[in-house]
DNA sequence: TTTTACAAACATTCTCGTATGTATGTAAAG
DNA sequence: CTTTACATACATACGAGAATGTTTGTAAAA
């Protein structure tokens, strides 16, 4: 029997791992606490010791993982950068590379986009998306101020387009069984995308 | 009590409506047949009379609705069209307009993308997506044969990009609470997208 | 010795599938 | 046109299994 504090932390981590895999494979509400406990090599008693209930498990899962939105925000949210579009492109590329490598990130992405019925998860996702959308909009505004953007889209519209492109790319990659090189094709795609949004001398 | 054939059909329809709303609002596996029956104003007896079980309900839901993939395919799957890119653009625009108007389509889209654990729904969605992806790839091939496309993307890659853009756009619109004019912004976006993929005299 | 970190057992609730009851439609026989 | 016979379209009731939350037991750590 394991009783030390380190072992307890290890148990907690194993439970989170099991939940992450099961939530991803069968959906959140179809996954049972008994199944999670069994997969983690413990009983439901351990699960109820570490977490209040299934929703609390979800919260913990979100907390320990970094979403692609956060990855992008962390590098792209710089103020007064001389080349906002270049900054954005680099941030997007970095995000794609990390996401392609990190299977944990991929699973949490699927769980979150699993249209979870719980108000908690939905609100959390909305907040993250709003945050990322705002960063994109600000970058677009800066680029506009420098006359680097085409006139036929507003900054808010550009944010929508980029959000849709990113999330669509990730979803398509996961759903299609990773049938293409995400960082490669995605990177070229984003580059072209930004190129297309730039002001043209026409 | 309703007993005539027309009334029975109306009951069946009411059950499907209720299931569509509940599946969309709470997810498939979190929705109970009792809840569906209550929302439809009947009991579970009626549900079990018209449908074998929950999976059968899902099948019936898919059957009575037209997915955006099918909408696009129906108009874009023409062989030997003189202007494949223009054809695609028009098909995409039509699809966006229909989707924006048809709340039933929107709900079924959400249910399908609900990462449903049942093998039936997942396989069904994969098939529809593969079909649409193939149509897009063929259109890209035709355009390439006419020298209308840029060289730095293969036909398959263009299909991926367009799929990601479309589904990302629809998801973003629904998840963001329809915070922008889908057909308007989406139409301009797709047009630019195709423009960007065209061969440039550079 | 007290608290921690679980396992094990229990009671409750939820959901499902099925079985049965019943009122209505429907068609043929008389 | 009525009566009979049966199918249709549900509602209601029942039993089984599963998932949940809680309580209790217990060995090891602190």
Q: Of A172, A186, A199, which to mutate for an interface test with B (greatest number of B Cβ within 10 Å)?
A: A172
Whole-angstrom Cα distance, residue A61 to residue A55? 10
Per 3-state DSSP, chain A is made up of helix, strand and coil in percentages (nearest 5) of 75, 0, 25
Model confidence band, residue A7 (pLDDT cutoffs 50, 70, 90): confident
Q: Which chain A positions have a beta carbon within 8 Å of B113's beta carbon?
A: 113, 115, 171
CA/C1' separation A19–C2 (Å) = 33
Identify the H or E element spanning B185.
helix B182-197
CB contact under 8 A, A110 and B115: yes
pLDDT digits (tens, 9 = 90+) for A22-57: 999 998 989 999 999 999 999 999 999 999 999 999
CB contact under 8 A, A185 and B115: no
- Give the per-residue pLDDT at B202: 46
B114 pLDDT exceeds 50? yes
CB contact under 8 A, A188 and B152: yes
Q: Chain B: which residues have CB within 8 Å of chain A?
A: 25-27, 29-30, 110, 113-117, 125-126, 129, 152-153, 156-157, 160-161, 163-169, 171-172, 175-176, 179-180, 185, 188-189, 192-193, 195-197
- Give the per-residue pLDDT at B119: 64
DSSP class of residue A2 equals -
Overall fold of domain A65-197:
Tetracycline Repressor; domain 2 (1.10.357)
* Domain positions in chain B: 5-63, 65-197
Architecture label for domain A5-63: Orthogonal Bundle (1.10)
Are residues B23 and B112 in contact, defined by beta-carbon separation less than 8 angstroms?
A: no
B51-58 — which CB contacts under 8 Å span 24+ positions? B51/B15, B54/B28, B55/B118, B55/B120, B57/B15, B57/B16, B57/B19, B58/B23, B58/B28, B58/B111, B58/B116, B58/B118, B58/B120, B58/B121
What's the mean pLDDT when you consider all of chain B? 91
| Nucleotides of chain C touched by protein CB (<7 A) | 4-9, 14-21, 23-26
State residue A149 phi and psi, 5-degree precision.
-115, 150
């Amino acid at each position: 029997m394991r009783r030390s504090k380190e072992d307890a932390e290890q148990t907690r981590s194993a439970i989170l791992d099991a939940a992450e895999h099961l939530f991803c494979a069968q959906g959140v509400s179809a996954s049972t606490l008994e199944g999670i406990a069994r997969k983690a090599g413990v009983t439901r008693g351990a699960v109820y010791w570490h977490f209040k209930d299934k929703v609390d498990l979800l919260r913990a899962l979100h907390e320990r993982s970094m979403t692609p939105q956060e990855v992008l925000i962390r590098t792209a949210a710089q103020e007064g950068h001389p080349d906002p579009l270049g900054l954005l492109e680099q941030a997007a590329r970095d995000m794609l590379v990390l996401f392609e490598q990190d299977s944990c990130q991929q699973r949490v992405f699927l769980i979150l986009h699993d249209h979870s019925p719980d108000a908690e998860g939905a609100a959390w996702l909305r907040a993250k998306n709003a945050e990322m959308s705002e960063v994109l909009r600000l970058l677009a505004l800066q680029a506009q101020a420098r006359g680097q953007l085409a006139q036929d889209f507003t900054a808010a519209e550009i944010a929508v387009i980029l959000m849709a492109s990113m999330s669509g790319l990730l979803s398509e990659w996961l759903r299609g069984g990773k049938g293409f090189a995400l960082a490669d094709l995605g990177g070229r795609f984003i580059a072209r995308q930004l190129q297309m949004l730039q002001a043209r001398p026409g």
